[in-house]
Chains A and B, each alone.
Chain A
């Protein structure tokens, strides 16, 4: 379980950004979470609940946007979103595809600030 340390990193990042903007409050943290990030969404949300209480943003919400895995199919010459990370092949033509274009994200995309 590394979700607690991930949750703490998310909050540290939000704190840094808030400080950089003159110590504003943070209401919402928007996080992009890729299917291949190695982080479990439910575990992260639970860990976040614990971690946020220790910070100055006790009421701050975490909103997670799931990013599915997208691969590049060399046969179709196109990006394809795969329905499951248990099978890396083009859903259109069945060609094995290991070139991951998206899906590894673990990124704070935006913050909702309160002055």
Chain B
């Protein structure tokens, strides 16, 4: 008996393996009581600087830790180690984004139950990380005042998939004639209702609100 060509329904998500690992991670994070925040931005927006201040501040009361994705160097982990919180670098090699399996293997030696906060700094890239769930509770997109107010319109997907936006380097806002109104309008256009926090890691302006926001998110009931 012979068959001609036939079409079969498959309905499989292309990233199903990543999604599966991310779901397992999310469950583990929940059970361990650790709140996981991923940070995404273009290169140089200040993820590492914000993370260094955040870890230092949280480390006074909580048990934070961080994973940092980078193409090739260990520089970020060295910088973050100054905060005294546990930090591990994930070298992605040529890969432009983190995947859930990389997060899982980086966490193998850590006891999650000993942590309150885990930050996952993605590779500096506003395109590729948007498709990959890392099991995080909250995805935060960073945008520095030096980047231009139309960034959200150029990269709507990453802004839309984020849960909160942090505008960084606000100490430079005046010098670079940062258009606050336009930036807020563009962020709200691609993600209506998104919370926006302004921070300068250098002057520490807004740092308190950012830390409070993190604590609120951690300890508010999650669905």
Contacts and interface: CB of A to CB of B under 8 A. Distances in A.
A21 B6 CA distance: 12
A50 interface: no
B156 interface: yes
A106 B15 contact: yes
Contacts of B158: 38
A101 B135 CA distance: 21
Interface residues of A, number: 36
Chain B at the A interface: mostly helix, strand, loop or mixed? mixed
B13 A96 contact: no
A36 B160 CA distance: 8
B160 A17 contact: no
B41 to A, nearest CB: 15
Contacts of A6: 14-15, 131
Contacts of A5: 95
Given A36-B160, A38-B157, A85-B157, A110 B10 contact: yes
Given A85-B160, A86-B190, A97-B192, A109 B11 contact: yes
A86 B153 contact: yes
Contact of B12 (A28, A88, A108): A108
Q: What's the interface size class on B, roughly?
A: 35 or more
Interface string B18-38: 000000000000000000000
B10 A88 contact: no
A51 to B, nearest CB: 12
B97 interface: yes
B12 A107 contact: yes
A1 B128 contact: yes
B192 A109 contact: no
A38 B131 contact: yes
B188 interface: yes
A8 to B, nearest CB: 10
Nearest to B194: A98
Interface in B35-89: none
B112 to A, nearest CB: 28
16 contacts: A2-B96, A6-B131, A9-B14, A13-B12, A27-B5, A31-B14, A36-B160, A37-B131, A86-B156, A87-B190, A88-B160, A98-B194, A107-B13, A112-B7, A114-B5, A115-B2
Interface of A: 1-2, 5-6, 9-10, 13, 17, 21, 27-28, 30-31, 36-39, 85-89, 96-98, 100, 106-115
